[in-house]
Structure 1
Amino acid sequence: MEFRSATGADAYHAVVRAGADLLVALDFDGTLSPIVENPEVALIHHRAGPLLVDLAARVGTIAVVTGRPARQVLALGGLDEVGNAIGELGRELVVLGQYGNERWTSGVRRVVSPKPPAGLASLIGDLPRLLRRADVPDAWVEEKGLAVAVHTRRSTDPRAAFERVLPILREAAEARNLTVEPGRFVVEIRAAGMDKGIALRRLIDETGAKAAVFVGDDLGDVPAFETMLALRAEGVPTLLVCSGSDEQSELRELADIVVAGPDGVMDFLGTLADALGG
């Protein structure tokens, strides 16, 4: 792993000292699983389950904070089984889906979710016209229940398609009081009022964690990084880890540690578990 500065090394050692009072939260896509053309087959890294269980024995809480629907992440990650193993250790796995709007825990074992936001159905119905206007007929639309995502990764020129469709979708979303979340060749539209930063702070308050680690890879993780920096300014030890890629640089500039994609995340989790001891 690559420390961005001496401050990053200090942050790492500070969260290690927290031990059982530490919360470790991770994004899913690009962090626990690779980015693939078809998000429906983005299976969790084969090393992730055992590493999360091993880490859970040493910290207070393990959480997955994702833009995906919670049920989808549970299936792709085998997180129900991971939660069982973590529960046997007397710990809890928390999954916060759709940027924190959905919640599942290994203790309750059911997804708690609000109703879809007003205006989302109207926008989904208008998407064929909007995509024609942006000249991205090959964009793939993923309906998520509380959100909709437009992927350009399968397009002939994914970056150009993304740049054409983003302002058009932003305009349509703002007219319906919805929030736009750009990502790695994806534009997600969802309800306002919730993001990974808000969700993470609430989880820290709820668990009473005295230190926190967050691992992410994309623009949707920026609010979580900003919350972690705000907590650090309040005196709470925090560590920001970027699952690095050539497609996204903003998180890299904010991070204490940069690792090489999901493989690097797995190495980091193993190193952290070793540092925390038995």
Structure 2
Amino acid sequence: MHPDPNRLAAIAARLPGALIALDFDGTLAPLVRDPDAARPVPGVIDTLARLAGAGARIAIVTGRAATTVLELGGLQAIPDVIVSGLHGAETWQHGRLRTRDEPPGLAVLRQSLPPLLRQTADGVWLEDKRLSLVVHARQAADPDRVLAELGDRLPPLVTEQGLELHPGKLVLEIRIPDLSKATALEHLLTPDTSAALFAGDDLGDLPAVAAVTAWARATGRPGLTIAVGELPELRQAAEGAVGSPAELAELLAKLPAAG
């Protein structure tokens, strides 16, 4: 399931104008218990800077806030990097942040959910991303049981506030409707894009995989989607897979030579 060398070579041959779009947690940075401790694997930021210097457009497409990822990842070292945060609800580029307004339903849930989570289990906590809320169960004694219970209780509360509930790796995310990493990719894939590569590790990356695959078919230009890690749904949807962020970093470092 390793990425096809011919696909890599086709993208490497079109690096000027190519879009290299990557998730952050679990893709550039290994997953850790404390999200604030996440850092990119050594050397990958330098690799992305070199790809940008070769003419590629580097975009980080993440469920995190754009400014948070910028700080944790040291992404300013990548020339002209674009950070699409909160599944496309905000975009950071050239030192400026463009963002959507906060829907009122988030304020309601911000107040009502913490008591509910405390009743559910120890180790469950709510992360406030301003334009989304994330219920984390990774630190609970039985995360699967907790998520199953919350998966039954939360949907009516979330829907009542005009928002959507999305599952992820040991998390449930509440976000603005009709936003996904696919909508973020649709803005990044322009008529001038010469080739596209996307890599991600979670269920939230499935729409981005579908968007890049559809773009490549529609345009006839080279495209490649890569699953990072072992998530079965993503490995089935993507065109190639690597085992870890470190393996992805090695592949990206070899990309110019592939052409």
Q: Normalising by structure 2, report the TM-score.
A: 0.93
Per the TM alignment, residue 132 of structure 1 is displaced from its structure 2 partner at its CA by 5.0
Aligned residues with identical type, % of pairs: 36
Q: Which runs of 5+ in 2 are unaligned?
A: none
Q: Note if 1:182 corresponds to 2:167.
A: yes
Is 2:244 the counterpart of 1:261? yes
**Distance in 1, Cα, partners of 2:118 & 2:35:** 23
CA RMSD of aligned residues (A): 1.7
Q: Deviations over 1:57-77 (max 9, x none)?
A: 224301101000011001100
Match of 2:88 in 1: 100
Task: Give CA-to-partner distance per residue, 1:199-254, whole Å, 9 cap, x none.
Answer: 1111112x721210001000111110010121122123210011113xx2211101
User: In 2, distance between residues paired with 1:117 and 1:236?
Assistant: 38
* Cα offsets for 1:102-160 (capped at 9, x unmatched): 1112xx20222122122011112110343256x23420211011111010000001222
Q: Note if contact 2:19-2:196 (Cα within 8 Å) is conserved in structure 1.
A: yes
Q: 1:243 aligns with which of 228, 249, 259?
A: 228
Summarize the Cα distance change of 1:169–1:137 in structure 2 as closer, same or farther, 3 Å threshold: farther
**Residues 21 and 165 of structure 1: CA distance in aligned 2, closer, same or farther (over 3 Å):** same
Q: Structure 1: state its 5+ residue gaps.
A: 87-91
Following superposition, the deviation at residue 11 of structure 1 comes to 3.2
Matched, 1:11 2:7: yes
**Cα contact 2:114–2:125 (8 A) shared by 1:** no
Shift of 1:53: 0.9
Paired with 2:40 and 2:5, the residues of 1 have a C-alpha distance of: 28
How far off is 1:10 after superposition? 4.5
Matched-pair contact (CA < 8 Å) for 1:180–1:189: yes
Larger displacement relative to structure 2 (213-222 or 45-54): 45-54
Residues 232 and 218 of structure 1, relative CA distance in 2, 3 Å threshold: same
Q: List 4+ stretches of structure 1 deviating above 6 A.
A: none
* 8 Å Cα contact 1:241-1:257 kept in structure 2: yes
Query: Which one-letter code corresponds to 2:29 in the other structure?
Result: S
Is contact 2:114-2:126 (8 Å) kept?
no
**Which runs of structure 2 are paired with 1:86-97 in the superposition (5 Å)?**
86=79, 92-97=80-85
Any idea what the Cα deviations from partners look like across 1:150-172, whole Å, max 9, x if unmatched? 10000001222222212322222
Q: Distance in 1 between matches of 2:33 and 2:154?
A: 21
Residue from 41, 46, 66 that aligns with 2:42: 46
Aligned residues: 258
Q: Which amino acid aligns with 1:98?
A: L
Tell me, yes or no, if structure 1 residue 225 matches structure 2 residue 209: yes
Task: Give the TM-score of the pair, scaled to structure 1.
Answer: 0.87
What is the distance in 1 between the residues matched to 2:114 and 2:17? Answer: 49
Q: Which region of structure 1 is more displaced relative to structure 2, 171-180 or 258-267? A: 171-180
